[in-house]
Amino acid sequence: MTFKLTSELMSGFEEIDGQHRMLFQRLDGVMEAVKSDDLTATKQAFQGLGDYLIAHFAAEESFMAGASYPERSRHKSAHDLFMQDFAQLARELEATGLSVPVLQWITARVPEWIKFHIQVNDLPLGRFLASRRFRPDVESRRVDKQRTS
């Protein structure tokens, strides 16, 4: 496993930390597919990562709304910008396959952004939610169901 949720990336809010753990597993799946130079497997794993990111960002955004988190609009903007970048990467992957720029983007830029975002945006959010003893409702936790799929 290449990507691990190390202690400095944990917020203490289990709902978010658990989703990040899953996110890193999906990221690892993409890296494995890239390493084996398998375009079909890479596209599949990449799509799976994108689906998980969408569900995970939606869950965080619902936690922020539910807890009236003061930084929520800035945090959501970071999610939106990243997903625009991710959609662009998906188009590049489709158009050029496992080209050098695409490989660089997948193996460096994506994981760097995710780690940076966790450190800068998600840790303060998780600590805020933990300190408020925030309890997500069932609907906003639905991303968890993907753990078994």
Q: Which residues bind Fe ion (CB under 5 A)?
A: 60, 121-122
Tell me the C-alpha distance between 42 and 33, whole Å. Answer: 5
Packing angle of the helix pair 14-35, 110-117 (nearest 10 deg): 170
CB nearer Fe ion, residue 89 or residue 118: 118
Taking the complex as a whole, the smallest distance from the CB of residue 121 to Fe ion amounts, in Å, to: 5
CB nearer Fe ion, residue 44 or residue 121: 121
CB nearer Fe ion, residue 17 or residue 122: 122
Tell me the C-alpha distance between 93 and 87, whole Å. Answer: 10
Taking the complex as a whole, the smallest distance from the CB of residue 84 to Fe ion amounts, in Å, to: 15
Amino acid 23 reads L
CB nearer Fe ion, residue 15 or residue 122: 122
Taking the complex as a whole, the smallest distance from the CB of residue 142 to Fe ion amounts, in Å, to: 17
Tell me the C-alpha distance between 124 and 37, whole Å. Answer: 37
Cα-based distances in Å from 129 to 50, 76, 141:
25, 16, 14
Taking the complex as a whole, the smallest distance from the CB of residue 98 to Fe ion amounts, in Å, to: 28
